[in-house]
Structure 1
Amino acid sequence: MNIIPSVNLKDFLSDDPARKQKFVEAIGKAYEDIGFVALKGHFLDEALVDNLYKEIKSFFSLPTETKQKYEIPGIGGQRGYVSFGKESAKGKKEGDLKEFWHFGQYVDDNDALKAEYPENVTVNELADFNKIGKEAYQMLEKTAKYVLRALALHLDLEETYFDNYIHNGNSILRPIHYPPITEEPKEAVRAAAHGDINLITLLMGAQGRGLQVQNHNGEWVDAIAEPDELMINVGDMLSRHTNNKLKSTIHRVINPPKELWGTSRYSIPFFMHPISEMKLDVLEGCIDENNPKQFDDITAGEFLNERLIELGLKK
C-alpha cells in the first residue's frame, strides 16, 4: 500500500448514518494498514491557516537573540522557543535541522491542571502571534476530537470514550522552521526517522515532498497532502492502548534536493495528548489468542516522561 488514503470529516459529521459508517471504516482500515490518513473537511479555515503561517514566518525571521529570550529553561521545551539542533530522534546523536515553538493547552476550568502545565509564552514583538496560535490550537483540537470519536466506534467503544481524556489534555501545537541548508549535512536530516509519542498527530504543511512514511515492508513512501488536507497519524500512546491494532508508523522529513537547499520549510504538527492520568493499558477488545497483550500497564503521564528523557528534552 503506497498511497496515503484520503477521507473527509464532513462524512463523519453528516446526519447520514451510512456516510458516517463509511468514514469510520475507511479511517479504521487506514490506521490498521499504514497508520496515516489525509483529512479534508477539518475545522481550520483558509484565512486562519494563512494567518498562522504569516505569524510563524514573522517569528522565525526575528533575530536569534530575540527568539532566545523565549527559550524557557527547566521545562523540557514544553512551551515557547526551542533553538536549532536541540532535539534529536530517539537513538540519534545528531540534532535535527530545525527550530520550533510550542503552544500548549489553554485551561480555564481546572485549577489543578492549570498549575500542572507550564504557562504559554507571549511574544511581545508580534501583536497577533499568540491570538492566532490559540485559535489554530483550538480548531485542531476540535478536529482531533471527532477523529478520535470515529476511532472509538471503529474499536467498538462508546463514541465519546476519548472525550474526557482529551479535554484539557497535554496537547502541543508545534510550528517548525527547517532553515535553508547551507552546507552538506554530515548525518543530520530535517527530522530523523521517528514515531510520535501521543494519541494522534495532525500535521499542517505536508504539501510538497519531504515527509515520508515507512510501510510494513520497510519501504519509504512519500506522504503528500492536498492544500486543504491535514495529514493525521497514530502515535505510540494510541498504538499501545490498542495493542498495536492501530499502527504508529515510523516517519521522517528528508532533506530536499540540492537545488532547493536555499529554501526554508515550515510545518505545523498538533500533537494530541490526553491528560496525564489516562491509563494506556491495553484495551480488552484488542486482545485475543492471535494478539496477546504486548504492553505493560502505564499512564500517559509516565509514558510521556519516559520518552522526553529518551529525546534529550528532559534530564
Structure 2
Amino acid sequence: MDIAEIPILSLADEPRGIASDIGRSFRTFGFALVRDHGIDPALIAEAWRLTAELFALPTEEKMRYFMAGTGGARGYTPFRTEVAKGATEKDLKEFWHVGRDLPDDHPLRSTMLPNIWPESPAGFRTVFETLFAEFDRAGSRLLSAIALDLGLDEHWFDPAIEDGNSVLRLLHYPPVKAEASGAIRAGAHEDINLITLLLGAEEAGLELLGKDGRWLSIAPPEGALVVNIGDMLQRLTNHVLPSTTHRVRNPAGERAGYSRYSMPFFLHPRSDFRLETLPECIGSDRPDRYPATITADEYLQERLREIGLKG
C-alpha cells in the first residue's frame, strides 16, 4: 500500500503563516496533517482510556444511551448501524456522539439535542466537554488559515461556526471476525461537515482515494491531527477545496484480532447558516455548481437519511 505524501504542518504558526501550505495540501489531497495543535496530550490520553472503558461496557448497558429516531445525534449508536452512501454493507463500528449544549431559550435549540452522559466511566463528562472545546478552538484556527488561502478575511468563518452543530465522535472498531466478509470498518465515503479533525489515525487502516484512482494510506506522526475537507466546505468553495473519498479498511493478520479506536471532530456551521457559493470561487472557467442555496441543517438531514442514521 502506497502512503500519501501529505506534508506535515504546524498549528503553532499563525494562520497567515500556514495558509498557502494548507491550501495546497487540501487542493492536492483533500487532507492535511497538523502537529502542534495545542490539545494537551494528558487530556487526549485520558480520553482514550475513557473511550476504551465506555465501549467495553455490556451491550445492554450501552443501549440505555441509544436514542432511536435522532440520527445518532447524541449518545450511543450500535454496531453495524451506519452505512456509507451508496453502499449495501453496514460499517463494522459502533460510536458515541458528544455535541454542543445550548441553553433552552437559544434560537437554534430545536436543531441541536442535549448531550447524553453515561453513568460510567467516572469523569467522562468533564473530560469530553473539555476535549470538545479544545477541538473547537483548533478547528477555528484551521478555518482562519483556510479563509486566508481563499482570499477571505481571517475571521470570515467566525460567525458561521458560532454555536455550530459540531460533533465529537468516539469510534470503536471491534476485532474483525470472519463472518464480516464483505463489510469493512468504514466504507468509502466523504464527510458531511466543513472540516474534520481526527485523532487516532496512527493505527493503520485510514486511506484516501487519490486522483489517479489508487487508495493511499494516511500515516500521521504520533499525536498529529488528520484534517480533511467535508462536503459543506466543498460546496461553499465550488469544489476548489475537494471533499476526498476515504475509508477505514479491515486489518490483516494478527491486527484483525485487535480493536481500533479513533476520535473525529466534525466541525459544522450553525444550523441556520446558508451554504451559498463563495464569489471568490466562481469564474468563467469555474461556473457556480450550486446556484440554489440550502441551510446547513437541511443539508445535514438529507445526508443523515442517505447514510442510514435517519429514516
* TM-score normalized by the length of structure 1: 0.95
**What SS does the corresponding residue of 1:101 show, helix, strand or coil?**
strand
Aligned AA for 1:300?
Answer: A
Partners in 2 of 1:75 and 1:21 — Cα distance?
39
- Partner in structure 1 of residue 212 of structure 2: 217
Q: Give the drift of 1:228.
A: 2.2
Deviations 1:49-96 (A, max 9, x none): 000001110000001100000001221110000000000000112110
Say yes or no: does 1:308 pair with 2:304: yes
Deviations 1:29-54 (A, max 9, x none): 11111110110111311100000001
Q: Give the drift of 1:147.
A: 0.3
Q: 1:115 to 1:292 in 2, by over 3 A?
A: closer
Where does structure 1 differ by over 6 angstroms across 4 or more consecutive aligned residues?
none
Say yes or no: does 1:167 pair with 2:162: yes
Partners in 2 of 1:110 and 1:33 — Cα distance?
43
Aligned AA for 2:163?
Answer: N
Deviations 1:189-230 (A, max 9, x none): 000000000000000001031000111111111111111200
Q: 1:242 to 1:110 in 2, by over 3 A?
A: farther
Number of matched pairs: 308
Greater mean deviation of Cα atoms: 180-189 or 96-105: 180-189
Greater mean deviation of Cα atoms: 52-61 or 109-118: 109-118
Does the Cα contact within 8 Å between 1:43 and 1:142 map onto a contact in 2? Answer: no
- Partner in structure 2 of residue 17 of structure 1: none
Partners in 2 of 1:144 and 1:130 — Cα distance?
21
Q: 1:5 to 1:110 in 2, by over 3 A?
A: farther
Match of 1:26 among 21, 28, 37: 21
Aligned AA for 1:223?
Answer: I
| Structure 2 gap ranges (5+) | none
| Structure 1 gap ranges (5+) | 13-19
Q: Considering only aligned residues, what root-mean-square deviation do their CA atoms show, in Å?
A: 1.4
Does the Cα contact within 8 Å between 1:24 and 1:150 map onto a contact in 2? Answer: yes
Q: How does 1:1-315 map to 2 (within 5 A)?
A: 2-12=4-14, 20-108=15-103, 111-295=106-290, 296-315=292-311
Greater mean deviation of Cα atoms: 111-120 or 66-75: 111-120
**What SS does the corresponding residue of 2:178 show, helix, strand or coil?**
coil
Partners in 2 of 1:293 and 1:102 — Cα distance?
34
Partners in 2 of 1:144 and 1:110 — Cα distance?
26
